[in-house]
Amino acid sequence: MTQKFEDGSPMWVELGTSDIAGAATFYGGLFGWAYEDLGPDAGGYGFFRKDGKQVAGIGPATDPARGTSWATYFQGDADEAASRVASAGGQVIVAPMDVMDQGRMAVFTDPAGAFFSVWQPGRHTGAELTNEPGSFTWSELITSDADSAKDFYPQVLGVGVRTVSMGEGMNYILLEAGNRPVAGAMQSDPSWGPTPTRWDVYFAVDDCDAVYARALELGATSETEPQDSPAGRFAAVKDPQGGRFSILKNDPNFSM
């Protein structure tokens, strides 16, 4: 469904990749996405479309330290967010800048080092399809410092925070905008091994196991095999260029 995005909510996801042609082939084969090249004036940037609707962005990876990775954009005032980031303990990585008439953006890291972006809409107002198979459905922060995240994101994005129990002693942090959950966060566990602090991107699917198997056939590597969670059945992979993402068959009866 097409969604009206509240300030503070994820509204766009974007792949920075070392191989645009390879990524277009992979995601086209996995989700049925069509790649739209925006031409030489766009600096290699383009769109992925699902059934004609914009679902994600794609462009060259520009940070060798991050390599190929998915980025989450939160809707908001880019300049206001930048003014709050440093005082809240984060860093401004890319200062607010206009992207032609499409909008205004900035890139930051939170106190634990997770990258995230803010987009102030112009002509581009975010994903045209969400929460349906082959489209963005959720962003989740995996962090080494959940307590600082609970302080940082409300200060920067103006979101509310609520902690819920997911059973077996695990707490889950919800970021809320417009009185509804829009993103999640959780403390990383030492038993997981080395776990970089990061924002993960989830795409909705209608069959987690089948899409996971198809991803591996197309050259992805497994990060988390399909398993059940309160929100639905999920898995995580890295695309052939190393970009991590998750897939989720949402449980329609689940609510937070």
Same domain for 177 and 108: no
In a domain, 256, yes or no: no
pLDDT band at residue 171 using 50, 70 and 90 as cut-offs = confident
Residue holding tokens 């129990």? 165
pLDDT band at residue 44 using 50, 70 and 90 as cut-offs = confident
In a domain, 230, yes or no: yes
Single residue among 75, 91, 121 that ends a domain in this structure: 121
Q: What is the CATH number of the domain that holds 164?
A: 3.10.180.10
pLDDT digits (tens, 9 = 90+) for 204-230: 999 999 999 999 999 999 999 999 998
Single residue among 92, 121, 150 that ends a domain in this structure: 121
Q: What is the CA radius of gyration of the chain?
A: 17
In a domain, 91, yes or no: yes
Give SS3 for 119. strand
Same domain for 157 and 94: no
In a domain, 5, yes or no: no
Owning domain of residue 200: 136-250
In a domain, 130, yes or no: no
* pLDDT for res 2: 47
Same domain for 104 and 24: yes
Highest mean pLDDT among 37-46, 164-173, 243-252: 243-252
Least Cα distance to 174 among 256, 76, 229 occurs for 256
In a domain, 172, yes or no: yes
Q: What's the pTM?
A: 0.94
Give SS3 for 95. strand
Tokens at 77, concatenated: 């005032």
In a domain, 197, yes or no: yes
Average pLDDT over residues 4-19: 96
Same domain for 232 and 159: yes
Same domain for 178 and 240: yes
Q: What is the distance between the alpha carbons of residues 249 and 233, in angstroms, rounded to a whole number?
A: 5
Single residue among 121, 150, 182 that ends a domain in this structure: 121
Same domain for 162 and 90: no
Same domain for 188 and 154: yes
Mean pLDDT of the chain: 93
Same domain for 84 and 18: yes
pLDDT at 1 over 50: no
* pLDDT for res 167: 67
pLDDT digits (tens, 9 = 90+) for 57-115: 999 998 888 899 999 999 999 999 999 999 999 999 999 999 989 999 999 999 999 99
Same domain for 237 and 172: yes
pLDDT band at residue 192 using 50, 70 and 90 as cut-offs = low
In a domain, 3, yes or no: no
Same domain for 150 and 50: no
Same domain for 16 and 99: yes
Same domain for 147 and 99: no
* pLDDT for res 179: 86
Give the per-residue SS3 of the chain: CCCCCCCCCEEEEEEEECCHHHHHHHHHHHHCCEEEECCHHHCCCEEEEECCEEEEEEEECCCCCCCCEEEEEEECCHHHHHHHHCCCCCEEEEEEEEECCCEEEEEEECCCCCEEEEEEECCCCCCCCECCCCCEEEEEEEECCHHHHHHHHHHHHCCEEEEEECCCCCEEEEEEECCEEEEEEEECCHHHCCCCCEEEEEEECCCHHHHHHHHHHCCCEEEEEEEEECCEEEEEEECCCCCEEEEEEECCCCCC
The count of structural domains within the chain is 2
